[in-house]
């Protein structure tokens, strides 16, 4: 994952609680609790398959690139996603889990998302890369604050922005400047992406008990149902800001 810049982070930095409980523990301590361990395996599995699917999608989008330079830029992003995937897979192996087993439960939802939102051109691909990964990144950052120290460090590392957001924003803004009608079409597209992302997330949360329990106040720190609501509000607000940065109405 990638594409977060400091300016479009949701405003949870100040709202996040001072680490206590799990968030103050390392993996060895925290994982002694079987429900917490299961939730983290789910999270790493979802994130790992997300990176592998993002690799495939970006490599596919590279074919739509109008120039060799643009193609190389997309290939670079794809390759960066692959290296994130490798880190997550290696961590799963390190903690004694089968990476394939951890990823399997998330294949249907992520493949479904990508199938429902196959970009029809280069600009739709860029908007999808930017918006989709930003939303995923916001979500994982929110969750990361509630994780043990070691898992948090890994999750934040694979969400590290590698400067690709600027590339997408610059290309999309230039296209809208050149033809303002493009803006209307891409705004509709971004709304469809957000809708599909929410619908697939609900599917995952409904299916995965350990993950949902961690999200809703169970085993990790500081999340209750009201907090989940606020989290979605923060993510939606960040999305609206990003749309404005692209020159699109959310």
Residue 122 near a second copy by CB under 8 A? no
Q: Which is nearer to a second copy, 23 or 52 (CB)?
A: 52
| Segment near a second copy (CB under 8 A); pick from 28-36, 84-92, 170-178, 226-234 | 84-92
Which position among 21, 29, 82, 218 is part of the footprint of a second copy (CB under 8 A)? 82
Q: Which is nearer to a second copy, 76 or 191 (CB)?
A: 76
Going by C-alpha positions, the residue among 198, 61, 204, 69 that lies closest to residue 128 is 61
**Are the CB atoms for 47 and 155 separated by under 8 Å?**
yes
**Are the CB atoms for 42 and 103 separated by under 8 Å?**
no
Residue 85 near a second copy by CB under 8 A? yes
Q: Which residues contact 182 (CB under 8 A, 6 or more apart)?
A: 123, 175, 176
Q: Which is nearer to a second copy, 167 or 223 (CB)?
A: 167
Going by C-alpha positions, the residue among 249, 241, 15 that lies closest to residue 135 is 241
Cα separation, 76 vs 125, in Å, equals: 15
Cα separation, 175 vs 173, in Å, equals: 5
Q: Pick out residues in 58-77 that bind a second copy (CB under 8 A).
A: 59-60, 62-63, 67-69, 71-72, 75-76
Q: Which residues of the chain form contacts with a second copy (CB under 8 A)?
A: 49, 52, 55-56, 59-60, 62-63, 67-69, 71-72, 75-76, 78-79, 82-83, 85-86, 89, 99-100, 103-104, 107
């Amino acid at each position: 994952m990638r594409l977060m810049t400091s300016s479009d982070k949701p405003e949870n930095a100040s709202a996040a609680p001072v680490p206590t409980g799990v968030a103050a523990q390392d993996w060895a301590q925290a994982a002694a609790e079987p429900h917490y361990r299961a939730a983290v395996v789910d999270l790493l599995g979802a994130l790992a398959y997300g990176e592998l699917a993002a690799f495939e999608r970006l490599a596919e989008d590279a074919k739509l690139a109008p120039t060799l330079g643009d193609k190389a830029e997309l290939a670079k992003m794809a390759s960066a996603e692959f290296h994130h995937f490798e880190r997550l897979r290696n961590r799963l192996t390190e903690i004694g889990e089968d990476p394939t087993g951890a990823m399997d439960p998330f294949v249907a939802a992520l493949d479904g998302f990508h199938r429902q939102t196959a970009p029809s051109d280069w600009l739709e691909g860029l908007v999808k890369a930017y918006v989709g990964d930003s939303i995923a990144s916001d979500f994982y950052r929110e969750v990361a604050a509630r994780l043990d120290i070691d898992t948090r460090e890994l999750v934040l590392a694979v969400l590290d922005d590698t400067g690709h957001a600027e590339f997408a924003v610059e290309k999309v803004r230039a296209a809208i400047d050149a033809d303002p009608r493009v803006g209307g079409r891409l705004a509709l597209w971004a709304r469809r992406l957000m809708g599909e992302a929410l619908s697939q997330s609900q599917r995952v949360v409904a299916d995965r008990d350990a993950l949902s329990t961690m999200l809703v106040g169970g085993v990790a720190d500081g999340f209750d149902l009201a907090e989940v609501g606020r989290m979605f509000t923060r993510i939606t607000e960040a999305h609206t800001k990003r749309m404005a940065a692209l020159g699109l109405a959310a």
